[in-house]
Amino acid sequence: MKIFTAQQIRNCDHYTIENEPVTSIQLMERAAQACADWISEHCSHHRNFAVFCGSGNNGGDGFAVARMLYTKGFDVDVFTNSKADFSPDAQSNFKNVKEIAGIRVRDFKEAENYRFDNRTVIIDALLGTGLSRDVEGEMKELITFLNSQNNIKISIDIPSGLFADTISSDDATIFTADYTLSFQFWKKAFLHPETGKHAGKVHILDIRLSEEYISATETDDFVIHEMVKDIFKPRNEFSHKGTYGKVTIIGGSYGKIGAAVLATKAALKTGAGLTFTLAPKCGYEILQTSNPEAMFIEGGNDFIDTIEVDEHSVLGIGPGLGTAQETAKSFLKFLKAYSKPLILDADALNIISEDAENIKLIPKKSIITPHPREFERLFGTTENSFIRLELAKKKAKEMNIYIILKDHHTQVITPQGQVFYNITGNSGLAKGGSGDILTGILTSFLAQNYSEKDAALLGVWFHGKAAEYTAEKCSKEAMLPTDVIHAFGNVFQELERKTTRIF
């Protein structure tokens, strides 16, 4: 799914109106109907809606939503500035609302004395995507007041005060929604931690904008979504273990063998043909007992000091590796002589970050998986996640590598400057060991002849999807990384359903 800028979305609206049999007011009705249907389905136990409408087209959406909710049997109060200079479509829908006797139209100032009981839902349709500066004056006071109310809050298209494409200032006033009902596309602001926190849970509603425009319009920003069904390769019935490649997980040290166990188990459970673990001798019994399907390669006693691997194996290096002097020395020596793409995570990245010159040793087309602090140690500090992403794009291009920047919405950055945001997963992954699992998944997919790009995209989506299945069964709080691995089968079954051809 493509991510468009606010201007591109407006252009898409205009193109749809000009090239399909739909007027601007009809398109607004289409959007409002999608919102009203979602709200009536998910808020059926609430009876009253307080809809706050601005003067632009976002307000026009709000007026139409209010009217539709009223016809569905809900009590509706509309708050607006009736003396405002409304856009033509907003004016038309405001007129329609005023003609309905059952809908009470109030001034914004009346909100302070309004009774927001626990069955009232606040709907924000104040500002939309046309915002060009931080909210000020009476609108700022209104949004601050609404944020103070302990009611369910829903934003139409985008929370008021939030910029669609960039970060807001630290002291900006932004409506904080529990749910955002956005039209057709994800907006970049929903996907970064500083801004996404205002959007709550985002639902993208299809309002049938022009497929021709969407297909023809270029962007470098995407959401990993349905594309995985085109990436996934179902298992061939006539295959054998050699078909699915060799994986070697290099990691583990005294006290950190569990990380190597998790990465190895994840590689096995994602279909690698042959799996090896290069680890210190102290982890031999643990690894052989926990992963009897994998073969053990001794690389030292309490930590790895020797790295010798099969030249045909795909390597995932870092889980539990440690940063002991001998480990660092052997790892950097190995990198100087190695040129094939590999997966680098955790302590492998920490060792590399100790000297800026080490970064040049990362083989081209490799996949690195830093969390924000590891990225900072590698490439330097940035002011926020938007700037961090731009730096990641620059480094991915300079070094010809793939960067998986782990975050709430993990980003896959390609050497070509494309950014793919992942929307699967949940906060249950905020536990030690989750990254080790991802390393095993990525290494396994790369060994199975997925391209570096496809391995990264499918890998992060797969990891997050398994976490969603796990949370349903175990809860986000109680789920463990090992539980996530147990859910891999569910994800493969879902992928197979997406790709199975029925004749």
- Tell me the two tokens of residue 122: 């606040």
In a domain, 502, yes or no: no
In a domain, 395, yes or no: yes
Say whether both 168 and 249 belong to one domain.
Answer: no
Say whether both 410 and 289 belong to one domain.
Answer: yes
**Span 396-416, pLDDT tens digits:** 999 999 999 999 999 999 999
For residue 483, is pLDDT > 70? Answer: yes
Place of tokens 């099969």: 310
How many domains does the chain divide into?
2
The packing angle between helices 372-379 and 385-399, to 10°, is: 60
**Span 258-286, pLDDT tens digits:** 999 999 999 999 999 999 999 999 999 99
54/60 Cα distance (integer angstroms): 8
For residue 501, is pLDDT > 70? Answer: no
Say whether both 210 and 254 belong to one domain.
Answer: no
Residue 132: what pLDDT?
84
Work out the burial of residue 327: count CB atoms within 10 Å of its CB; fewer than 13 is exposed, 13-18 middle, 19 or more buried: buried
Say whether both 342 and 406 belong to one domain.
Answer: yes
Domain boundary among 189, 219, 249: 219
Residue 502: what pLDDT?
53
- CA nearest 259: which of 425, 208, 267, 186? 267
For residue 7, is pLDDT > 60? Answer: yes
125/31 Cα distance (integer angstroms): 12
Say whether both 374 and 405 belong to one domain.
Answer: yes
Cβ–Cβ under 8 Å, residues 485 and 269: yes
148/431 Cα distance (integer angstroms): 32
Say whether both 67 and 145 belong to one domain.
Answer: yes
Q: Which residues are CB-neighbours of 442 under 8 A, at least 6 positions away?
A: 316, 343, 367, 369, 404, 455, 456, 459
Residue 131 half-sphere exposure toward CB, CA atoms < 13 A: 28
- CA nearest 61: which of 6, 126, 138? 126
Average pLDDT over residues 237-241: 83
In a domain, 471, yes or no: yes
Average pLDDT over residues 247-265: 98
pTM, full prediction: 0.96
- Paired residues of 183 in beta bridges: 205
In a domain, 1, yes or no: no
407/449 Cα distance (integer angstroms): 27
* Domain of 117, in residue numbers: 6-219
**Span 51-65, pLDDT tens digits:** 999 999 999 999 999
Strands 295-298 and 313-317: unpaired
Place of tokens 């009902």: 181
- Tell me the two tokens of residue 191: 């996907």
Work out the percent of the chain whose per-residue pLDDT is above 90.
Answer: 94
Say whether both 211 and 309 belong to one domain.
Answer: no
For residue 503, is pLDDT > 60? Answer: no
